[in-house]
Amino acid sequence: MIKAVTFDLWDTLIDDDSDEPKRSAQGLRSKKDERRFLVWETLRKHKPIAVETVNLAYDVADAAFNNDWRNRHITWTIGERLRVLLSGLGQDLPETDFDTLVKAHEEMEVDIPPNAIEGIREALEDLSQDFRLSIVSDAIVSPGCCLRRLLELHGLRQYFHGFAFSDEVGRSKPHRDMFDSAASQLGVDIQEMVHVGDRDHNDIKGPQALGMKAILFTAARDRDLDYTSADAVCSRAEDLPETVRRLVRDVEK
């Protein structure tokens, strides 16, 4: 019997890059460029360094992060990522400067928040009447504490009884620990949950390998649509409650 629904966050509840036009309208750099600028600006307070050198080091650190994320299912905290970057440069920073740099990275998507997916609040309100809900999301730059604040800003946090963020669990999707954490917080068995997300590998095949059902949600991102193994596909938030309930009815026949 299906008792709970878990949700990816990025491009499922929150439109990942919808903050970029806001940044541009304010004359700000893109998030990618701003992160690299912040590192360069902080380092050059202590000794001269070329911006190209910092950009290259940032790219190398990102590549190392992506390797662990995809192959070992671990997401380093932004502090860990910056330590790797600084080590590659043979540089160090005073603790105060380092902490300020970490905070600026972590809170960038809270200070100028991306938009919630249109209609998702109403969908969550509907589903929360019949199911317990949890987030199961990788924390790539913004940690779980900031993602909770982002959900709060959009009036979404109140619908969730569980939060499995990769920086807090210690693993990332599709590792079983992420879904076990959600199941434990919700007080259900892992097979009693349906997962909703936009990426076939992490959000569909991962949960299915654990005996769960999974729904591909394509409102913001549909690149995996042509080859998904999803048990159902939904393209609009307003259709999500019925898509979930239809799948649950089919499972429980």
The domain made up of 4-18+115-252 has a fold known as: Rossmann fold (3.40.50)
Q: Quick one: pLDDT at residue 95? A: 97
Where are the chain's structural domains? 4-18+115-252, 20-111
Compute the distance between CA of residue 203 and CA of residue 47 in angstroms, rounded to an integer: 45
Calculate the CA dihedral of residues 131, 132, 138, 142 and round it to 10 degrees: 120
Dump pLDDT digits (tens) for 12-21.
999 999 999 9
* Cα separations in angstroms, 26 against 11, 108, 116, 177: 23, 14, 20, 40
Average pLDDT of the chain is 97
Assess whether pLDDT exceeds 80 at residue 253: no
Compute the distance between CA of residue 83 and CA of residue 56 in angstroms, rounded to an integer: 15
Stated pTM of the model? 0.95
Model confidence at 200, in pLDDT bands (50, 70, 90)? very high
* Residue 191 burial (CB count, 10 A): 16
Amino acid (1-letter code) at residue 57: A
Dump pLDDT digits (tens) for 26-54.
999 999 999 999 999 999 999 999 999 99
